[in-house]
A and B are shown apart, each in its own frame.
Chain A
Amino acid sequence: ETGVTQTPRHLVMGMTNKKSLKCEQHLGHNAMYWYKQSAKKPLELMFVYSLEERVENNSVPSRFSPECPNSSHLFLHLHTLQPEDSALYLCASSQVAEVNTGELFFGEGSRLTVL
């Protein structure tokens, strides 16, 4: 495995379900990110972990809960979501010192549909 891997690629859940999105990076990076991609909107930065510490929580509702157990893995736990949370959720990684060079590496995304 190389790069950034996200699972599942597609997820359909009801508003009362609890599910998790998983991201794994094999690049030796020490920063990881969750972005939300909705149609015709700018990518929204949700969470940033740098050296396994959360450094950004961009006013995200508490029904989204991130977890970063180590520098290679990032989770997004989902519970009691709303239909407007349906979107493509992208994970990315970088070396902390290189963020301003724009060198973020993205996974293919997890397409979430909330019924």
Chain B
Amino acid sequence: GDSVTQMEGPVTLSEEAFLTINCTYTATGYPSLFWYVQYPGEGLQLLLKATKADDKGSNKGFEATYRKETTSFHLEKGSVQVSDSAVYFCALSGNDYKLSFGAGTTVTVRA
């Protein structure tokens, strides 16, 4: 079945550092790919998405490119802020109505 594997955390960074969170997937067909973010004490919210190969999703300074050849969708941000501290989830949507999520990566940014 469809699945997502993302790098284990936690990840701790200093402000203005570069952030990368790796995500790879296994799916049949042509899934859509997503990154969700969960800030402390809140529910998950959609951060960005890409619906076909080579698409780049971007939002709030974060970017991720759908790489079909490597089945990856790595999340990057060039200069993180304390407010980016959160749990980040990679997810995919296949041919049905279900989203398959990764285990989440906790990111802590220190001032």
Contacts and interface: CB of A to CB of B under 8 A. Distances in A.
- Do A and B assemble together? yes
Nearest to B97: A99
A102 B98 contact: no
Contacts of A21: none
B46 A104 contact: yes
A101 B103 contact: no
Contact of B103 (A42, A45, A99): A42
User: Which of A43, A45, A48 has the most chain B CB atoms inside 10 A of its CB?
Assistant: A43
B43 A107 contact: yes
Contacts, number: 62
A45 B4 CA distance: 14
A90 B104 CA distance: 14
Interface size class of A (residues with CB under 8 A): 20 to 34
Interface in A92-109: 92, 96, 99-109
B98 A56 contact: yes
Contacts of A108: 41-43
B19 to A, nearest CB: 20
Interface of B: 3-4, 8, 32, 34, 41-46, 49, 51, 89, 91, 93, 97-104
Given A92-B44, A106-B44, 6 more contacts: A42-B4, A45-B98, A99-B97, A101-B93, A106-B43, A106-B45
